[in-house]
Structure 1
Amino acid sequence: MPHTDRPAIRLVLRLDFPPADRLGRGKIELLEHIRDTGSISAAGRAMDMSYRRAWLLVDALNGMFDEPAVERQRGGRQGGGAQLTAFGEVLIQRFRAMEAKALEAMGEDLAWLEDQRPRTPAAGARAPSEMPE
């Protein structure tokens, strides 16, 4: 039975592509915001990140695969923008499907782990933000 007095265990999927590329929920969420807003800067603002950081993440995503995930449009009357490519749309769908499969496959084990956690923090326990570095 899950305990309701604290956040539940969360499964987070991250794929590491040798030698140094990574694909995780942050980049996928950025793609979803670009799809919804048509803008890299608006997508970055929605995630509380700078345009530069959002642009660097898009650039990294576009360099990870044979096809780009995002196409930028330059200037014009509306000031440009960005849109997902067909590949970018499929990338989101596939990643979200992998997350769902992983959660389904591990659901029983995650529930068991959740049940092993104390109902309240142990006396003298510190929050992660209070841990020494």
Structure 2
Amino acid sequence: MTTAPSLKIKIQIHCGSEIAMGPGKADLLDSICEHGSISAAARTMGMSYRRAWLLVDVMNRCWNGPLVHTSPGRSASSGARLTELGGKVLAHYRALQDGIADASRGTDYDALAGRLLSEPRASQKD
């Protein structure tokens, strides 16, 4: 069985040596927005709370304001939420992803896909 060639473009926005935003961080922001906590977001994504917190920490340090606001405790206002800036950064990142996905469908991709093998050869001599 052969599969059609696929193109995967991953967008990473760097801040110095850190990745300020990428697909995984965007997914984490979506999950925080949905679940209202970093720990619940981490659980649904199959990552540790510590890993999720470190990713949030990097994001909060890389932009001109925090993307995630946290409130400790057990009250109704506790947990985590995206700040206004966090919502805007996420929306712009998703729009950028959509634009690149749209751009990847066209004549240039078709030209490359038409020349791509479905599987690599066993060796360069084949």
If the length of structure 1 is used for normalisation, what is the TM-score? 0.78
1:1-133 aligned at under 5 Å gives the runs 5=3, 8-17=6-15, 19-22=16-19, 23-77=21-75, 80-108=78-106, 109-119=108-118, 121-124=119-122
Letter of the 1:25 counterpart? P
Percent identity over the alignment? 34
The structure-2 alpha-carbon separation of the partners of 1:103 and 1:123, relative to structure 1 and needing over 3 Å to count, comes to closer
The root-mean-square deviation of aligned C-alpha atoms, in Å, is: 2.2
**d(CA) in 1 for partners of 2:52, 2:97:** 23
Secondary structure, in 3 states, of the residue corresponding to 2:13?
Answer: strand
Deviation at 1:105, TM superposition (A): 2.9
Tell me the residue number matched to 1:131. none
Kept in 1: contact 2:28–2:52 (CA 8 A) = yes
Report the 3-state secondary structure (helix = DSSP H, G, I; strand = E; otherwise coil) of the residue aligned with 1:71: strand
Q: SS at the partner of 2:114?
A: helix
Structure 2 counterpart SS, 1:72: strand
Cα–Cα, structure 1 residues 54 and 10, in superposed 2: closer, same or farther, change >3 Å? same
Whole-Å Cα distance in 2 between the matches of residues 40 and 111 of structure 1? 41
Matched length = 120
1:80-121 CA distance string (max 9 Å, x none): 3111111111111100111122223343223332222213x2
Gaps spanning 5+ residues in structure 1: where?
126-133
Q: Structure 1: how far apart are the matches of 2:4 and 2:47?
A: 28
Deviations 1:52-91 (A, max 9, x none): 0000000110111121110111112469311111111111
Aligned equivalents of 1:71, 1:44: Cα separation in 2: 16
- Tell me what 1:128 maps to: none
Rounded to whole Å, the distance in 1 between the matches of 2:38 and 2:5 is: 31
